[in-house]
């Protein structure tokens, strides 16, 4: 492992840190010399992934919507380093029904709430608590105290059939990013978001071949799925570029999203 001295001593809290995007990010931040808190609902998974990263990583189990769980993860991050980075990349598959079907069955509100809880309320909860922790940091030469990176999606811009709830949550991530950045400017905390297209995480790998073929067929270039490591290196670029603030960056190979039911 090659350690970058510039970030040695930093610590990062990665929500969804043992997943596809989060796991690749946790690994890359460890390679940069950071200590890492792998924050996951499944304790065994969190601990096992952290152990694989090495001595500078710790696994913490918890729900990103639970304030007490998030504060425990923040405490751990502050104990193992100079806590300056939060990446929110948690996500799981949730059944996505139609808004209304031909039989006249409406979209269940409980499913909509679950989707918003997972993809919007959770990331905001972690963001606000991490930002509050960053406020106590010593500023660097730019006055910076920390960086928050949330995960949107191309569905925020090109929502497909059966994606109304998912698209709403991801569009809200885009909508709050610049507002958060401007709001947190007074305490020297940046906020950005990444909007991935088809990234070959385990969840997408399990999708039907017809969906995967439709997605890659509409990627302009390079004509393939994205790699989780490319998400991680975009997080790295955000860390290394202090003037990049309040932005949502699409990571999708110039995808033109087809009309598809997901």
Residue 177 contacts residue 247 (beta carbons within 8 Å):
yes
At residue 70's C-alpha, the angle toward residues 66 and 74, to 5°, is 170
Residue positions annotated with a catalytic role: 166
Strands (E), the chain: 10-15, 35-40, 57-61, 82-88, 146-151, 189-196, 248-251
Torsion of CA 15, 256, 245, 145, to 10 degrees: 10
Residue 224 burial (C-beta neighbours within 10 Å; 0-12, 13-18, 19+):
exposed
DSSP structural state of residue 104: -
Distance CA(73)–CA(65), nearest Å, equals: 12
């Amino acid at each position: 492992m090659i350690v970058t001295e510039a970030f040695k001593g930093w610590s990062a809290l990665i929500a969804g840190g043992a997943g596809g995007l989060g796991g690749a990010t946790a690994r890359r931040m460890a390679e940069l010399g950071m200590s890492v808190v792998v924050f996951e609902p499944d304790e065994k998974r969190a601990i096992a992934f952290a152990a694989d990263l090495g001595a500078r990583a710790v696994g913490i189990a918890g729900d990103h919507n639970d304030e007490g769980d998030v504060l425990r993860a923040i405490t751990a991050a502050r104990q193992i380093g100079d806590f300056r980075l939060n990446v929110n990349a948690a996500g799981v598959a949730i059944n996505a029904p139609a808004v209304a079907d031909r039989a006249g069955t409406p979209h269940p509100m409980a499913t909509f709430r679950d989707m918003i809880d997972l993809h919007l309320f959770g990331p905001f909860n972690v963001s606000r608590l991490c930002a509050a922790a960053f406020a106590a940091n010593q500023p660097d030469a730019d006055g910076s105290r920390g960086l928050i990176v949330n995960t949107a999606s191309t569905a925020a811009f090109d929502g497909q059939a059966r994606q109304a709830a998912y698209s709403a949550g991801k569009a809200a991530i885009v909508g709050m990013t610049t507002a958060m950045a401007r709001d947190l400017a007074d305490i020297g905390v940046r906020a950005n978001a990444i909007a991935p297209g088809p990234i070959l995480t385990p969840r997408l790998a399990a999708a039907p071949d017809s969906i995967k073929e439709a997605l890659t067929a509409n990627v302009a270039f390079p004509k393939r799925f994205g790699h989780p490591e490319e998400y991680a290196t975009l997080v790295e670029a955000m860390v290394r570029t202090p003037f990049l603030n309040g932005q949502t960056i699409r990571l999708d190979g110039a995808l033109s999203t087809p009309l598809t039911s997901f």
